Every structure is written in C-alpha cells, then in structure tokens.
Amino acid sequence: MDYSIGLYQSILNALSEHIVVIDARGRINFVNSAWTEFALANFCTYTDNWQTINYLNVCDASAATGEPDAAQAADGLRSLVEKKCDRFYLEYPCHSPIEQRWFSMTASPLEWSGEFFLVISHQNITQRMLAEARVNELS
C-alpha cells in the first residue's frame, strides 16, 4: 500500500507529544501541530518558518546563558549524530511565569533516503513530577 506523506504528517499531528525532526547539523525539518501549538502558547518567536532554525544552536545558546539541561540536551543529541549511542533521554524543568512544568525528551536516530535525522519527542511529565514531590513530602 502506498500512503501519502500527508497521511504520515497527519499521524504525527494527532500525537500529544511535541515532535521535531532535525538533520545531522541540527536544522529543523519538521514539527508537528503539538510543537507549534506549544510554541504559540508560550510566545515563541520562531513559528513562522521552523526550517530556518537550528535546534542544536538554540540548545547551545541556552546553555551559554547557564541552562545546564540545554547543554546536556545538545551533548546527548550530538552523541546520537556521532553514533555513540542509540537513544537519548532527558527529563528537564520547563517552568513558565505562571506554572511549574517538566518535560521528558526522547531522541532517536532515523536514516531515510540516505540522510540522517533525529526524531525528538518532548512529553509533558508535570503530573508525574508533582505526584513524586507529594510522595516525597509524605515520607
């Protein structure tokens, strides 16, 4: 069966996880609807043309301002590009001025038509983190 690219995009857009696909240099090739919706809800200025953004450069710039999780993310993603590992996972805070929240990042390599990509998923794990904090308070 031959499915269109539109079907696969629709499948990714149906997911609640924020999905971004980058090439080996870090350039964003694709984002799903959840990614864009989160960006818009959080006043991100990049939403006009994601393909002009280098994800690794954004991580590096954030790390340069003192964000250790951004440095860890960039290092982990580069380890995947260099084929030093098969998968990368990171849990990190992503608090806003109005709420505390946490996310997990899972990144996996993808080779397609002779090109190398990373598929990166960010999932909101705030409920789990708050529940763990409550359990720790009771201990």
Q: What is the CATH number of the domain that holds 39?
A: 3.30.450.20
Q: How far is CA 22 from CA 93, 99, 100, 116, 137, in A?
A: 22, 29, 27, 9, 40
The token pair at 35 is: 């990614």
pTM over 0.85: yes
Average pLDDT over residues 39-63: 88
**Number of domains, the chain:** 1
Average pLDDT over residues 15-42: 95
Whose structure tokens read 């997911």?
A: 15
Question: Domain residues for 54?
Answer: 5-138
The token pair at 67 is: 């964000």
DSSP tag of 27? B
Give me the pLDDT at residue 128, please. 96
Average pLDDT over residues 81-93: 97
Give me the pLDDT at residue 131, please. 95
Burial class (CB in 10 A: 0-12, 13-18, 19+), 56: buried
The token pair at 88 is: 């990368």
